[in-house]
């Protein structure tokens, strides 16, 4: 995108531009399938389907469906990018490494979150991202609704992250 002089900043896109950021991003992730609100079926995530919910890290709390309604991109290998724009100046990307049809669909386990910040894509949990307190947002004991959302940063910092995680997640 940068080589083509296409803006990497999600705030340059929106309803008033006629094109959404994830539509442009999908052009650079070929082959990919765009998942619009009207065709949310496999390999896309039908967030209105309670049979396959996304959960927090402990698996005790279903994530709000409003986190999955701002666009999706499905890759051929099953990886699913789920866009979320909780405010006009922020864009998050939930990455489900094994796709929505393969469990456990849990933050910090097979779903990791990234945030666009200051013109770059950062792991959620990195300095100045929306969720940085790993004791609350990447903990095997926290019951916070968003527990697991900052685990991308923790996994990036700790090479034994997945070895340790298996002890806690069943």
Asked if residue 4 belongs to a domain, the reply is: no
Asked if residue 67 belongs to a domain, the reply is: yes
Asked if residue 3 belongs to a domain, the reply is: no
Asked if residue 123 belongs to a domain, the reply is: yes
Asked if residue 135 belongs to a domain, the reply is: yes
Q: What angle do CA 94, 86, 18 make, to 5 degrees?
A: 90
Asked if residue 130 belongs to a domain, the reply is: yes
State how far the Cα of 150 lies from the Cα of 59, in Å rounded to an integer. 15
Range of the domain at 47: 10-168
pLDDT tens digits along 100-156: 989 999 999 999 999 988 878 899 999 999 999 999 999 989 999 999 999 999 999
State how far the Cα of 127 lies from the Cα of 136, in Å rounded to an integer. 15
pLDDT tens digits along 61-106: 999 888 888 889 999 999 999 988 876 667 899 999 999 989 999 9
The count of other CB atoms within 10 Å of the CB of residue 96 is 23
State how far the Cα of 58 lies from the Cα of 50, in Å rounded to an integer. 18
Number of domains in the chain: 1
CB 147 within 8 A of CB 107: yes
Instruction: Please give the residue that has the higher pLDDT: either 13 or 102.
Output: 102
Asked if residue 48 belongs to a domain, the reply is: yes
């Amino acid at each position: 995108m940068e080589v083509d002089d296409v803006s990497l900043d999600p705030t340059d896109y929106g309803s008033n531009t006629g094109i959404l950021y994830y539509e442009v991003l999908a052009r650079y992730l070929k082959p990919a399938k765009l998942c619009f609100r009207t065709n949310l079926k496999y390999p896309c995530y039908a967030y209105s389907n309670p049979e396959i919910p996304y959960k927090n890290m402990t698996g005790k709390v279903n994530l709000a469906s409003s986190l999955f309604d701002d666009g999706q991109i499905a890759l051929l290998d099953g990886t699913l990018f789920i866009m979320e724009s909780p405010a006009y100046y922020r864009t998050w990307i939930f990455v489900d490494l094994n796709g929505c049809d393969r469990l456990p669909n849990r933050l910090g386990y097979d779903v990791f979150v990234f945030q666009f910040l200051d013109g770059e894509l950062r792991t959620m949990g990195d300095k100045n991202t929306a969720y940085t307190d790993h004791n609350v947002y990447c903990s095997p004991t926290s019951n916070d609704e968003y527990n697991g959302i900052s685990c991308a940063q923790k996994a990036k910092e700790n090479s034994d992250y997945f070895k340790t995680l298996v002890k806690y997640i069943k």
